[in-house]
Amino acid sequence: MTTVPPAGHRDSPGLMFALLGNETMRRLRDAHTANGLSPRQFQILGLLHDRGPLGQSDLATAVDTAASILVTQLNPLEADGLVSRERDPHDRRRHVVLLTALGRERLQKAGAAQQEVEDDVFRALTPAQRAQLTRLLILVRDDLTGGHEQCGTPASLDREDSRPAAGSARR
C-alpha cells in the first residue's frame, strides 16, 4: 500500500528549496570543476579576494571547517599557484593565506561560469524577482547563521543589480 503525501507536500518551501538546491549544486560543482576548483575552493578564493589575506585559522572559521580539512583544500591551491602561505611577520606561529594574481584570474573565470549557471537556473525569473529572491535567501541565511555569513560567492562576483543577464529573458 502506497501512502499519499499530505496536501501541499510538493509545494513545501523547504522541500522545494532542498530539491532545487541539489540540482543547482550539481550544476555549480560542474562549473567550478571545469575551472579546476571544488565549490569549497571557489569559496576560499572568494573570501581571500573579498577580505584580503587571512590567517589560516581565521580562514577555517570563515568557511566553517576544521583546520585540518582546510589544509587539504589549500594544498592543491598552493601547488597550482592560486594561493600562497606565508608566516605572519607579527606572529611566527601563524600562517597567512594570500590570493595570487593567478588565483584572481581563476576566480574570475570560475565566477563567470558560475554566473552562467545561475542565469540558466533562474531564467524563468524577471530581474526584479531574482533580486527579491536573493534578498529573501540572504534574510533566511542571516537568521540561521546569526548574521555570520558561512556561505556565498565572492561579493565582487555577485550581481545584485537588476540588469538582465544574457539569455535570461523571461519566457
Q: Does the residue 13 lie in any domain?
A: no
Summarised one tens digit per residue, pLDDT across range 126-158 is 999 999 999 999 999 899 988 765 544 444 444
Does position 99 have pLDDT exceeding 60, yes or no? yes
Domain residues for the domain of 28 are 18-157
Q: Does the residue 164 lie in any domain?
A: no
Q: Does the residue 53 lie in any domain?
A: yes
Per-residue pLDDT band at 5 (split at 50, 70, 90) = low
Q: Does the residue 170 lie in any domain?
A: no
Does position 2 have pLDDT exceeding 60, yes or no? no
99 vs 85: CA distance, rounded Å: 9
Q: Does the residue 75 lie in any domain?
A: yes
Q: Does the residue 77 lie in any domain?
A: yes
Structurally, how many domains does the chain consist of? 1
Q: Which three cell numbers stand for residue 70?
A: 582546510
Q: Specify the pLDDT at position 168.
A: 39
19 vs 22: CA distance, rounded Å: 5
Query: Helices marked H in 67-126 — which ranges?
Result: 67-79, 101-121
Residue 127's CATH number: 1.10.10.10
Q: Does the residue 167 lie in any domain?
A: no
